[in-house]
Amino acid sequence: MGDAALQALQIAATSLMNLGLALMLGALACAWLQRGGAAPAPHRIGRMAWALRAGTAVALLGAVMALWAESALMADVPLAEAGSTLTAVIGESHYGHAWVLGVLALGMIAAAAWRRGVMASPTRLGAAAAGIAFFAGFRSATSHAAAAGWLPMVVEWSHAMLVSLWAGEVFLAAWLMPDLDGSSPAPARHACADFIARLSASATWTLAGVFLTGAIGAWRGLDGPPGAWLSSGYAAVLAVKLVFVAAAAALGGFNRFVVMPGLLPALHAPQASASASPRRFRRVLRIEACALFAALVAAAVLATSAPPPATRTAAPSRRGHPASVLDFAISRLASAAAAARVSTPSFSNTCSRCLFTVRGLMPRISPMSRLVLPLAIHESTSVSRRVSAARSSRDGACASTVCNCSSSMYSPMPTGPRLRATSARPPCA
């Protein structure tokens, strides 16, 4: 039940952040699409401003919910007890640092959005656009793509921005589309025709960018043979998302190639007619908005799900035959175990996705040999080797000093005496 509640909270938080990002970008896109034409009605300008403010508030709510869920995940505690770990997560983890930058970006957007006349000020709109870009960067820096390097992270950022732009301008256009009829004046009809033409062109180019960045991300992220990830739940959710995206693209194509060829000439005609009403265009646009909202929710499920593991090519065996994947994994684990290193887990350098796993395994770690003396068997092992406990503890302190192990969440285990005691031993510095 706890894992189900945690996953539900993560999906809800990511969906809210996706929706907020779409609303903010949609408000800026609609303000840009109405440039150069007749001044839009004051109530439509007010709607764009409120959409920008609502998107900021929704994104902030999603960010707070995501921080709470991530704190519970990193500390491996129930959701009700995650509040006590918020300070440590914010101050000592990569996710917390990126989260603070994302919240500061939302603050910059709110400072510009809550000023009077924001939609008519290029400076404030530019500040809001910069804040949106930084907030999307926070999302990409804490995504699955960030673990693969900066290039996949840039591709993920571009894909998220383009999807949010497409969804946002469809949301706002379906809400702001004027209700024209046969008695509407010519300037209003001409402005509506220009807005529809620009909206269609913007959606077309945005859709092309969405497919390009999505294909690059899928090619880099879904590694290995197709059978390894086609049977996974991640691929099923990805297929659902692609179905919704394809449905939205088909609806947009229907508006562009079926509705618009008859609607635009009627809107530009000197005399108003019954066919100069964008009601059909707006009806299809609202269905497309529903499909895009479902795609944003599916994207949130993908962002909170673990992708299928990549399958690497195994090294050849000694007899010349290809080794199996299991043999390759065992050899890698053996090599890692053979490399004796003294280290202390660091909260700030630990990935948020695996911190709870490391923390759960730490109490069950046992020494590989008696060269490492945990405190519980320190004295008995020293007696079996005929080494005094004082000398053993002095050697353990010396080894800890030489290794320069800094204190963190856990204290380093003291190392034991050397195999052969010598009469002249250099003092510990």
The whole-number pLDDT of residue 164 equals 96
Band the pLDDT of 350: cuts 50, 70, 90: very low
Distance CA 125, CA 33 (A): 13
What is the number of domains present in the chain? 2
* Residue 326 domain-assigned (yes or no): no
Band (pLDDT 50/70/90 cuts) for residue 33 is confident
Final residue in a domain of this structure, among 303, 337, 352: 303
Q: Identify the band that residue 222 occupies on the pLDDT scale cut at 50, 70 and 90.
A: low
Residue 109, CB-side half-sphere exposure with 13 Å CA sphere: 34
pTM over 0.75? The answer is no
- Residue-level pLDDT at 338: 43
Tell me which of 183 and 278 has the higher pLDDT.
278
Number of other residues whose CB lies within 10 A of the CB of residue 393? 18
Domain's final residue, options 303, 318, 342: 303
Q: Higher model confidence: residue 226 or residue 300?
A: 300
Q: Is residue 230 part of a domain?
A: yes
Angle ∠(321,334,327) on CA atoms, nearest 5: 25
Mean pLDDT rounded to a whole number for the chain: 75
**Section 157-166 average pLDDT:** 95
Mean pLDDT within 49-76: 94
Asked if residue 136 is part of any domain, the answer here is: yes
| Closest C-alpha to 58, from 97, 21, 96, 93 | 21
Positive or negative, the CA dihedral 347, 350, 356, 357 is negative
- Give residue 378's pLDDT: 45
How far is residue 177's CA from residue 356's CA, in Å, rounded to a whole number? 49
Which of 303, 324, 359 is the last residue in one of the domains? 303
Whether residue 406 is predicted with pLDDT greater than 80 in this model: the reply is no
Q: Are 388 and 295 part of one and the same domain?
A: no
Please name which of 273, 25, 270, 381 lies closest in space to residue 169, comparing C-alpha atoms: 25
Calculate the CA 359 to chain-centre distance.
24
Q: Are 332 and 319 in contact (CB under 8 A)?
A: no
Tokens of 217: 């991300």
Does any domain span residue 7? yes
Confidence category of residue 407, pLDDT binned at 50, 70, 90: very low
Q: What is the structure's pLDDT at 40?
A: 62
Indicate whether 99 pLDDT > 90. Answer: yes
Which long-range contacts does 335-338 make (Cβ < 8 Å, 24+ apart)?
337/368
Q: What is the pLDDT of residues 233-287, one digit of tens each?
A: 888 898 999 999 999 999 999 999 999 998 898 888 877 776 767 889 999 999 9
Residue 247 in tokens: 């449905």
Residues 286 and 404 in one domain: no
Q: Kindly report, residue by residue over 390-403, the tens digit of the pLDDT.
A: 444 444 444 444 34
**Containing structural domain, residue 285:** 2-303
Q: In this structure, is residue 332 part of a structural domain? A: no
Residue 271 placed within a domain: yes
318 is a domain residue: no
Task: Indicate whether 15 and 125 sit together in one domain.
Answer: yes
- Is residue 338 situated within a structural domain? no
